[in-house]
Amino acid sequence: MISLLQIIGFVFVLFTASRVILRARDKKLKFRETIFWLSVWFVLIFVIFFPELTSNLAKILGIGRGIDVIIYSSIGLLFYLIFRLYVKLEEAEQEITKVVREVALSEKRKKK
Amino acid sequence: MPKKIFIVIAAYNEEKRIGKVLSDLKKKRYKNIVVVDDGSSDNTYEVAKKKKVHVLRHLINRGQGAALKTGIDFALEKKADIIVTYDADGQFLAKDIKEVVKPIKKGIVDVTLGSRFLGNVVNIPTLKKVALKIGIFVVHILYKIDVTDSQCGFRAFSNDAAKKIEINADRMEHAGQILHEIMINKLKYKEIPITVIYDNYSLKKGQSWKNSIKLGIKMLFKRFGR
């Protein structure tokens, strides 16, 4: 028996996965990132249709319910991704500053 | 040989104050003044330009640390012997520069740091004082440098020190970063008492206490995050 939640979840995953593929086709995503995101969504499809799989994993890890495994690992993943984003953003900011500085200095040199 | 002293000022929307600050500096016969207009939306650039000083312009606002670094780079290109960083909002007194520069001129230290708590503070609000004291404590823990004032914008660097000190923190964390750089490059430094005048204008433009908390957290990140 397939529940409504499973259908919604499935549509959501298909939608996001299609975004990933579109981005990849535009070369906005690197190959490695594409594989990473596709496998995330692939795993989610399994979780949606075979939730009992997660229960087994939960038993192995010593966590109560299958859903908890998903929640814990999602939070972990989210934290990691946010951290990466933070680092990337900081890098981008510094690059912008370098460009702005170089423009300021070279304009000054020109005016001599 | 007389030392070439460069005064670097980062200015962001300071059209009301920058003119007087520059006039005061010129009255004291400082010739090499560098203003970095940090993407101001007002007439800071034009006002500074009229005063016949070096003016550089950031196309967009990148923060005080970034602007100071631009000015320092420029001063180094011009072969400055001593670089002084100074505020654009008229909180400092031009007569203090002489004292701040002196130990570097004599070759005693590489860096001097202005300190409001060794000197005079006029009208400092209590909350700001507390925030600054906490800043000193945080700096003591993180960088193992003992200063009486960790966030003061009045500093002087020898040419050598200015080359060694890396500032890649764009916003207000640069104050902490400079201290960190002093520590890792083993530069000799000294604190010099200076006068800081607080009035409504500078308080409005200055750091709020909320900002101070953010700053503290960012400093932690910077120290342990990489």
CATH code where residue B109 lies: 3.90.550.10
Residue B203: per-residue pLDDT: 63
- Residue B32: pLDDT band (50, 70, 90) is very high
Q: Is the ipTM of this complex over 0.90?
A: no
Nearest CA in chain A to B67: A101
The C-alpha of B200 sits at a distance from chain A's nearest C-alpha, in angstroms, of 31
All residues at 6 or more sequence positions from A22 whose CB lies less than 8 Å from its CB, including other chains: none
Question: Which phi and psi (to 5°) does residue B20 adopt?
Answer: -70, -40
Interchain CB distance below 8 Å, B59 and A96: no
The C-alpha of A94 sits at a distance from chain B's nearest C-alpha, in angstroms, of 7
Other CB atoms within 10 Å distance of the CB of residue A104: 26
pTM of the model: 0.75
Residue in the block written with tokens 């500093």: B155
Which segment of B4-8, B52-56, B72-76, B192-196 scores lowest on mean pLDDT? Answer: B192-196
Buried/exposed code over A24-45 (b: 16+ C-beta within 10 A; e: otherwise) = beeeebeeeebeebeeebeebe
For residue B38, list its beta bridge partners.
B58
Residue B226 has pLDDT above 50, yes or no: no
Interchain CB distance below 8 Å, B170 and A93: yes
**How many structural domains compose chain B?**
1
The C-alpha of B71 sits at a distance from chain A's nearest C-alpha, in angstroms, of 9
Residue A87: per-residue pLDDT: 86
A 76-95 residues with CB below 8 A of B? 93-94
Nearest CA in chain B to A102: B70
* Mean of pLDDT over chain A: 86
| pLDDT tens digits, A48-89 | 888 887 888 888 888 777 778 888 888 988 998 898 898 899
**What is the domain extent for residue B83?**
5-224
For chain A, give the percent of residues with pLDDT over 70. Answer: 98
Residue A96: per-residue pLDDT: 94
Q: What would the mean pLDDT of B91-103 be, rounded to a whole number?
A: 90
